[in-house]
Chain A
Amino acid sequence: MLGKTSLYLKDFDWFIFLLALIIAFVGVVEIHSATQYDRAENFYLKQVYRILIGLVLMILAMSIDYHTLAENVPYFYIAGILSLWSVLLFGRKISGSKSWISLGGFEFQPSEMVKVIVVLALARFLCEIRTEYLSGKEIVKASAIFGLPVLLIILQPDLGSALTFFPILLSGLILGGLRPKWIMGAIILSVIVIGLGWYNLKVYQKERIYTFLEPERDPQGTGYHSIQSKIAFGSGGFLGKGIGKGSQTRLGFLPERHTDFIFSVVGEELGFVGAATMLLLYFLITMRSIHVAQTARDKLGIYIAVGGTSVMLFHILENMGMVVGLMPITGIPLPLLSYGGSAILSTFLFLGLIINVRMRRYVN
């Protein structure tokens, strides 16, 4: 297996790899800048370690032929379900939800790993379907494969994480082929679900939505994050205030500045030039990943590449959109840039899978 890998090494995707490293590097710099006055921890160093672990995982994920991974996906899937189950039983409660588990002193969020497994499992299921459109039965099966782990995550309850799973199913079904009547049905169904869901939302959840629509209605409460993020980001202007000189960041007006709102720090300190450059880097990774799908050897590769890309794209859309006030506030991190262990690891795993597909694109 490893010998085979060396054959593919000339096809290693340096482009994606370098883009990812640049983004991760900027992330470390900005995490350092955002937390330089916090005496408690060296966040940026921890992030460096995580990136190194992520790189190891990436190499692992690209080394084993994705077909082999897909063949063994039932085992991964069962392991993933068990880990989510154990989190529900033994997990640590952090800010109201049991989504963390401690493995040998390492705080770990199994849902991030399960995300990778769900991409593989759905790809495995969908790639075997030959018809132009998916049948109703197949859609139900795909939804069930997807739904079981997501349900367990919703039970934690970690709605934010559960939300990030949906692009996998959505992109899979779109590629697999949805009949127009199914699409119409889905639209009607989602309207009903949203309508019903609204009545079942908790007060604080509704408040978040109201505040998203009009942050100024509660500038010191739930609207605070949105307003402060926009102030920090917008005040960066064209060139930014310089690394380590973001006053909003430094004086602590910006909350969650090294995690969910790291892009605000980028905006404040590096300005439009920096923020747009970062956006460009993400754009290039995304386009490259879609190109990997286009040139993949088989449907399995396409589904894996698109599944991984769609998850990252959703993170980018939600997180950056939240920072610039276009999306509601959720705790969804920005891939590669935000401080945070599990998300970084799953991102590198996805990148590893995408590179894996690319390396093995030629039919022997």
Chain B
Amino acid sequence: MGLKDFYEDKKFVLGRLPFIQYSAIAVFVFLFLGIWNLQILKSKYYKEQAEKNQVRSITLTAPRGKIIDRNGQIIVDNRPSFTVSLTRENLPGIEGSLELLASGLKLDIGFFKTQIDRHRHQPGYLPITIKEGLTIEDLSFLESHRLEFPGLDVTRQPRRFYREGQLAAHLLGYVGEISEKQIGTEEFSYSKLGDIVGKAGVERVYNQILTGIDGQKRVIVDSRGREVKLLDTIEPIPGNDLRLTVDLDIQRAAENAFQEKAGSAVALDPRNGEILCLVSRPAFDPNSFASRISKTEWDDLISDPKKPMQNRAIQSRFPPGSVFKVIMTIAGLREGILTPEYSDSCSGSTVLYGRPFHCWKKGGHGRVALHEAIVNSCNVFFYHVGQKLGIDKIAYYATQMGLGQKTGIDLPGEDTGLIPSPEWKKKVLKADWYLGETISVAIGQGYVALTLIQTARAFGGFGVGGILHTPHTVSSEELAKWGKTVNRSTESRFELDEQTIDIVSKGLWGVVNEWGTARRAMIPGFDVCGKTGTAQVIGKEAQASLGNKKEEFEDNAWFVGFAPVHSAEIAGAAFVEHGGHGGEAAAPILHDIFKVYYDKKNRGKDEIQVSLAQPH
């Protein structure tokens, strides 16, 4: 097969070659302009971009300040916590590894998958946090599988550590990632997205003092985000340590006294308002919030019918029962209705406004003088006092003692409690006041409902001669140290006279020390004074019809007191939900609290371990 190659044959083709040639030249001019554009015209811009590519700022989280008790014992500090995160870009085929990872890290595979799924639309180079607070087992698992999972990185961060778990959980509060709502508010003006902030309790109220200033590390990273070289470091400044007025030994004693019971206890120094302990049960473990708490865990806490998140010392109100008789006594003495010689007769019940009102003692107390009425907590006696005083006078004295209003404690969410009045009922319930309702109020039932903190403050206030201080967990001096001034000049007085102080003090002393209702609160040598309360949850008849089976309808038990009798140093209130009789359930708790205080005081201020081998 001969291929023709005559010159004239090439004529047409050769004539079209320049077109190819010019096209080629155009291509090269085009490419040259492209190169010129990037490397000459825009080289400055791309040099900056290259710089940005490699230099990454890494936040060095500043540890929060420690929280210590009044004697310097650490309650809350920080622990290094290891977090493992996944960079999907570096772990292709992640789906195949999920099962092994989940079982190795003891994660729920379903939860794990949704966690990964949520980040599906984010770029693969962004790390996803898989698990925080790694255990030794987790770390060794990751170490031994390092080569199989190149996309996993373990980082170290300070994590809040509540040394004694549930201890004082409601007082201390907990920390968590700042919410979008909180960002930009005055309270969190120093915080930015992703910061860990105080969410409740002391952690929240004193967040600014406790929060440090994050540092920063600038590093050169490769495209996988791995650090190649360190450029510079700004060290983080830890937050300030905060000293509480709480005494850890007293707090521990109070916690232990509760065992498994639900309720609350608070103790304070009535001379200045310093909180010595605050317990609320059931509690939660703030450590579980220190890392991202899982949705189900949170829902469980929120929807738990036992309300473990509720601070029962300040956020709940309860009918005070017989505790209220102390207010009645003070009001009666001040109004001249009661005198030292006054006596009444109790037959077990009395009929007032056409309705029978019962005493707790079936056969009645017989002839009772004022002192016995307090010590034995005679209902009939105080029904009559209430009838004579009228609801307005009762409300006047109760309000004067700080009841039915916030104390101003430095913890969030305080409740007011309620001292009812005809005006209140008209306004809120749109109904007229029945005189029979006054009789119920006289023994702390009916509408009257108090918080523990205000009741403890009122008793302590009486113990120091009628002065009410604002309860607080951090002293003004401590706050001044961190540049915060606080206005606690809201201390107020209520009217007392020598005779009233004398009679009421003797009565409250008798309750504890004279075979009264609260013998279990007695501490030899410390002159504990107080009053029990046994507040009905439902009527006596209904209760009887249920037998003794239903614990949730069991009476609530109160004991409120102070010590020593003539110059109070400590005051407190204890409350046991469905605990039954105040003297049996609540008095021992306050006993334990006062006992530790008393023992510590006697043995000096050194750190001591107190044995609580007291029989209840």
Contact = CB atoms under 8 A, between A and B. Distances in A.
Contacts of B28: 279, 282-283, 286
A356 interface: no
Interface residues of B, number: 48
Interface stretch (A5-13, A93-101, A269-277): A269-277
A41 interface: no
A303 B24 CA distance: 16
B30 A326 contact: yes
A232 interface: yes
A151 B125 CA distance: 38
Contact of B31 (A127, A221, A237, A320): A320
Contact of B50 (A124, A231, A310): A231
A233 B224 contact: no
B92 to A, nearest CB: 12
A290 B50 contact: no
Contacts of A247: 50, 54
A331 interface: no
Interface string B524-547: 000000000000000000000000
Interface string A42-68: 000000000000000000000000010
Per DSSP, are chain B's interface residues mostly helix, strand or loop, or mixed?
Answer: helix
Nearest to B49: A231
The listed residue with most B CB atoms (<10 A of its CB), out of A250, A251, A276, A293, is: A251
Contacts of B37: 324
Nearest to B52: A231
Contacts of A234: 38-39, 42-43, 45-47, 49
A177 B9 CA distance: 13
Given A231-B49, A275-B35, A252 B224 contact: yes
A177 to B, nearest CB: 6
A230 interface: yes
B5 A320 contact: no
A220 B124 contact: yes
Contact of A237 (B4, B20, B24, B39): B39
Contacts of B42: 234
A363 interface: yes
Contacts of A67: 3
B178 to A, nearest CB: 26
Nearest to B24: A286
A288 to B, nearest CB: 11
B37 to A, nearest CB: 7
Contacts of B45: 234
Given A237-B47, A271-B39, A316 B16 contact: no
Interface in B4-42: 4-7, 9-10, 12-14, 16-17, 19-21, 23-24, 27-28, 30-32, 34-40, 42
A152 interface: no
B228 interface: yes
B221 A279 contact: no
B123 interface: yes
A228 B38 CA distance: 12
A281 B14 CA distance: 25
A130 B46 CA distance: 54
Nearest to B43: A237
Chain A interface size range: 35 or more
A176 interface: yes
B31 A71 contact: no
B17 A294 contact: yes
B289 to A, nearest CB: 33
B295 to A, nearest CB: 28
A203 B54 CA distance: 32
B12 A177 contact: yes
Contacts of B40: 238, 272
Interface in A87-138: 124, 127-128, 130, 132
Contact of A128 (B3, B16, B17, B54): B3
B223 A251 contact: yes
A296 B224 CA distance: 53
Contact of B27 (A128, A233, A237, A316): A316
Contacts of A275: 35, 39
A321 B35 contact: no
Contacts of B20: 171, 174-175, 290, 293, 306, 309-310
A355 interface: no
B136 interface: no
Given A237-B47, A290-B17, A272 B35 contact: yes
A349 interface: no
B5 A279 contact: no
A298 B17 contact: no
Contacts of A326: 30-31, 34
A306 B124 CA distance: 45
A34 to B, nearest CB: 13
A253 B226 CA distance: 12
8 tightest A-B CB contacts, nearest first: A234-B46, A298-B5, A220-B123, A324-B34, A235-B50, A252-B223, A272-B39, A234-B38
18 contacts: A67-B3, A174-B16, A177-B12, A230-B46, A231-B46, A233-B46, A238-B39, A247-B54, A267-B35, A275-B39, A296-B10, A299-B5, A300-B5, A302-B10, A317-B30, A320-B35, A324-B34, A324-B37
Given A293-B20, A298-B5, 11 more contacts: A132-B12, A238-B40, A248-B50, A250-B222, A252-B222, A252-B223, A267-B38, A271-B39, A282-B28, A316-B27, A321-B31
